[in-house]
Amino acid sequence: MGLGLLASRALRPAASRLLRYPPRHGLARAIGSTPERQSPEASAAQAQPDPAPELPPRKPVAGARVHLPNPEDAIEVFVDGYPVKIPKGMTVLQACEVAGVDIPRFCYHNRLSIAGNCRMCLVEVEKSPKPVASCAMPALPGMKIKTDTPIAKKAREGVMEFLLMNHPLDCPICDQGGECDLQDQSMAFGSDRGRFTEVKRSVVDKNLGPLVKTVMTRCIQCTRCVRFATEIAGVQDLGVLGRGSGEEIGTYVEKLMTSELSGNVIDICPVGALTSKPFAFKARNWELKGTETIDVTDAVGSNIRIDSRGPEVLRILPRLNEDINEEWISDKTRFCYDGLKRQRLNDPMIRGADGRFQAVSWHDALAMVGEVIHKVGPEEIVGVAGKLSDAESMMALKDFLNRMGSNNVMCEGNGKHPNADLRSGYIMNTGIAGLEKADVFLLVGTQPRVEAAMVNARIRKTVRATHAKVGYIGPPTDSNYDHEHLGTGPQTLTELAEGRHPFCSTLKNAKNPAIIVGAGLFEREDSDAIFSAIETIAKNGNVVRPDWNGYNVLLLHAAQAAALDLGLVPQSPDSIKSAKFVYLMGADDINLKDIPDDAFVVYQGHHGDQSVYRANVILPASAFSEKEGTYENTEGCIQQTLPAVPTVGDARDDWKIVRALSEVAGVQLPYDSVGGIRSRIWTVAPNLVSVDEREPTTFSTTTMRPNTNQKISPNDFGMAVENFYMTDAITRASKIMAQCSAMLLKK
């Protein structure tokens, strides 16, 4: 892809947005203001002469949608004279949002419980003697809400003044500056002068670990962080101490925040009290270029925004995607980015006779590989795709090695004899958001908390909201919701399959039972037998019905689903033990001892990780933040990464390297553009081409899979992920992740 194409791609969203929504007024959009409110005369002129019917309908804030489950429960309220229909039970603040009025707030957050303690959201309600806190007040039929009367404005101004009394004036050295709710709202609603002459209070900073920096004097006691920790993250670490002006947020005793979601408190803290430690004083947020892309450190495919300046990734923030990660991301996703600049491979290299690597030109490196690959027999060639590979490069690798005569192309983590036939056999059929409908979970050999933190957050959300039951089979684990530990290994599974276990009746009586199987089981020798036992359980428990497919596999790596879709299935499971030529495309977690000593190993990848020690030739490739690539997450949703920063040194996109090599080796692949490779993918797995879609599966494995005569071995299930913070080449190169594993994973 040329630079021009890149540039046009980067420009496209901005340009089209400009065209579609011409700026309606000269000012940039200020928080809490509708266009009408920015010119009071205009709105007054509009609102006064003619009542309801002829008013132009206002747009709900941020495209908020109202879902009216049954129309009888709808009530009508008036916001600044505009009638709106809302379901019963909404708060005044939500009603205002539907009516298109953004109410200023600090403590209210729509995914957390309501605290009602900052008072910033005061509005006037007719017949109420005092302004009311709209976030905590349920809307009642016929309520007349006024959001921009002098009383409401004065109330906000007063609250603002009190909040600023004890808030330090350190915006110039505060990392939140520029994206601070307090800053924005004091500009929009605060007074233009201060009356405060006393001494401000100060609070001792807390140590929350290597990720979250605290400046507690800035805290406005909104308690969002406390509610996040207890409700979403499920750790009871944070709390409020003291009263009145002595009130502070802390951990009671000196304690680190040990949650895999702790980084999210940085986003929800409306002020600069909780900020990112690794990002501290690195940049101002307005200097950064944001690139909307996705995360590849686990199989969830969280939507992220990479903020970069020049060639450097400076931070990673979550993007809203209700179906996948809501608005949270795990700490690994958020803080792995410093691994992107350490240990990078930037030149093609050949290992000389003395065992040292020598930087060479691409031409020489490819020529050498092209020569060697012809000296070995076709069945001695083996290709392994790594856990971070994108679909395009896996397609190219498979096609290339197929053309060389080898049928042994596999992907890390999928085990020796993966069954890639039916998609429903290896994806999460309910979808991540669909898990919320389940009322009983059976986790088999999976610890979602470390394998896919966002999926775990969904399960926790469901358990909290509906008291869904969770049964778990596997080694003892530290889970943040109530669960019943049914057993540690296949024995319990057999009992369940034969209906001898008490949990069977729970499963049978459930309305929407969900079974979640860990992809760690793929690696077991008896995986076929295990999966057929699980399918029996699914059949007996009525888990798969036409209207509900509760049979789920929770994958571990970003590449897994796409690899199976593309059919990266090795012909002979142990081919690597007799290989003479091994092509590792970012594969760092295979057992290097399996590779025979006389084999020629090509390592193509972006990090000098484990496999480099065994490589004969190194071909440097670009990382996920530097390329455009297609990934399929564990629920089968196709998403693409976009290049946020230029790649390092002489590295190239994975698929381009394979394409170039195919030409040198004399088996030129028939495509030489991303478009070309995608049309090729379209003839293998067309679902991989429909981006941002989840293709439903037609057939369920529970009815289609042939019986197996494999025996289940009695060995207990293992842990698929030992260290949550370090699972791949990027996270292993990251210093922050190393600190986290040292401090937070105390055994």
Partner 1 sequence: MAWRGQLTKNLRELRFLFCQSSPASSSARSFVENNYKELKTLNPKLPILIRECRGTEPQLWVRYDFGVEKGIRLEGLSEEQIFKALKEFAKL
* Minimum distance from residue 154 beta carbon to ligand FES (Å): 17
Positions 659 through 718 that interact with partner 1 (CB under 8 A)? 667, 683-687, 689-690, 693, 695-699, 704-707
Q: Which does 696 bind (CB under 5 to 8 A by kind): ligand SF4, ligand FES, partner 1, none?
A: partner 1
Distance from C-alpha of 727 to C-alpha of 75, rounded to nearest angstrom: 51
Positions 79 through 108 that interact with ligand FES (CB under 6 A)? 105-108
121 binds ligand FES (CB under 6 A): yes
The structure tokens 């209207």 sit at 547
The amino acid occupying position 405 is G
For ligand FES, the closer CB: 120 or 438 = 120
- Own/partner contacts of 24-28, CB < 8 Å, gap of 24 or more, are none
Q: Which does 66 bind (CB under 5 to 8 A by kind): partner 1, ligand SF4, ligand FES, none?
A: none
Q: Which does 118 bind (CB under 5 to 8 A by kind): partner 1, ligand FES, ligand SF4, none?
A: ligand FES
What binding mask, one character per residue, do residues 9-38 give for partner 1 by CB under 8 A, x or -? ------------------------------
Query: What is the CA angle 154-159-161, rounded to 5?
Result: 95
Positions 212 through 231 that interact with partner 1 (CB under 8 A)? none
Cβ contacts of 444 within 8 Å, gap of 6 or more: 473, 474, 493, 515, 516, 517, 518, 521, 534, 717
Tokens of 114: 């309501």
What are the angstrom distances between the C-alpha of 15 and each of 12, 202, 681? Answer: 5, 46, 30
What are the angstrom distances between the C-alpha of 183 and each of 1, 49, 167, 385, 555? Answer: 42, 37, 11, 48, 42
Query: Which residue, 681, 691, 684, 679, is CA-closest to 638?
Result: 691
For partner 1, the closer CB: 165 or 689 = 689
Distance from C-alpha of 39 to C-alpha of 528, rounded to nearest angstrom: 68
For partner 1, the closer CB: 499 or 676 = 676
Distance from C-alpha of 34 to C-alpha of 25, rounded to nearest angstrom: 11
Positions 123 through 162 that interact with ligand FES (CB under 6 A)? 133, 135
Positions 191 through 250 that interact with ligand FES (CB under 6 A)? none
Q: Which does 269 bind (CB under 5 to 8 A by kind): partner 1, ligand FES, ligand SF4, none?
A: ligand SF4
Is the Cβ–Cβ distance between 156 and 33 less than 8 Å? no
Distance from C-alpha of 155 to C-alpha of 189, rounded to nearest angstrom: 10
**Of 569, 612, 677, 712, which lies in the binding site for partner 1, with binding defined by CB under 8 A?**
569
118 binds ligand FES (CB under 6 A): yes
Please report which residue ranges of 511-641 form alpha helices under DSSP H: 527-540, 560-565
**Of 405, 499, 676, 718, which lies in the binding site for partner 1, with binding defined by CB under 8 A?**
405
Q: Which does 399 bind (CB under 5 to 8 A by kind): ligand SF4, ligand FES, partner 1, none?
A: partner 1
* Minimum distance from residue 691 beta carbon to partner 1 (Å): 12
Please report which residue ranges of 166-285 form alpha helices under DSSP H: 181-189, 224-227, 264-268
Distance from C-alpha of 32 to C-alpha of 14, rounded to nearest angstrom: 23
For ligand FES, the closer CB: 95 or 121 = 121
Tokens of 717: 């299930």
What binding mask, one character per residue, do residues 521-560 give for partner 1 by CB under 8 A, x or -? ----------------------------------------
Is the Cβ–Cβ distance between 432 and 635 less than 8 Å? yes
Distance from C-alpha of 380 to C-alpha of 397, rounded to nearest angstrom: 16
Tokens of 606: 């972006």
* Minimum distance from residue 653 beta carbon to partner 1 (Å): 21
Tokens of 443: 């986790």
Q: For ligand SF4, which stretch binds (CB under 6 A), given 55-63, 220-228, 250-258, 399-407?
A: 220-228
φ, ψ for residue 695, nearest 5 deg: -85, 120
**CB neighbours of residue 141 within 10 Å:** 10
* Minimum distance from residue 702 beta carbon to partner 1 (Å): 12
For ligand FES, the closer CB: 135 or 317 = 135
For ligand FES, the closer CB: 220 or 681 = 220
Distance from C-alpha of 124 to C-alpha of 256, rounded to nearest angstrom: 42
What binding mask, one character per residue, do residues 340-379 give for partner 1 by CB under 8 A, x or -? --------------------------------------x-
The amino acid occupying position 500 is R
Q: Which does 135 bind (CB under 5 to 8 A by kind): ligand FES, ligand SF4, partner 1, none?
A: ligand FES
**CB neighbours of residue 157 within 10 Å:** 14
116 binds ligand FES (CB under 6 A): yes
**Of 134, 217, 221, 333, which lies in the binding site for ligand SF4, with binding defined by CB under 6 A?**
221
Handedness of CA 98, 100, 101, 105 (dihedral sign): positive
DSSP state of 377: -
Instruction: Let me know how long the chain is.
Output: 747
Positions 236 through 295 that interact with ligand SF4 (CB under 6 A)? 249, 269-271, 273-274
* Minimum distance from residue 117 beta carbon to ligand SF4 (Å): 9
- 602: three-class secondary structure by DSSP: strand
Is the Cβ–Cβ distance between 106 and 221 less than 8 Å? no
DSSP letters, 662-696, are HHHTT---S--SHHHHHHHHHTT-GGGGSTT-BPP
Tokens of 579: 């290989």
Distance from C-alpha of 197 to C-alpha of 241, rounded to nearest angstrom: 27
For ligand FES, the closer CB: 119 or 460 = 119
Q: Which does 685 bind (CB under 5 to 8 A by kind): ligand SF4, partner 1, ligand FES, none?
A: partner 1
* Minimum distance from residue 169 beta carbon to ligand FES (Å): 23
Q: Which does 421 bind (CB under 5 to 8 A by kind): partner 1, ligand FES, ligand SF4, none?
A: partner 1
Q: For ligand FES, which stretch binds (CB under 6 A), given 111-119, 223-231, 394-402, 574-582?
A: 111-119
Q: Which does 698 bind (CB under 5 to 8 A by kind): ligand FES, ligand SF4, partner 1, none?
A: partner 1
For partner 1, the closer CB: 318 or 413 = 413
* Minimum distance from residue 423 beta carbon to partner 1 (Å): 7
* Minimum distance from residue 162 beta carbon to ligand FES (Å): 13
Residues near partner 1 (CB under 8 A):
378, 399, 402-405, 407, 420-423, 565, 567, 569, 571, 667, 683-687, 689-690, 693, 695-699, 704-707
Residues near ligand SF4 (CB under 6 A):
219-225, 249, 269-271, 273-274
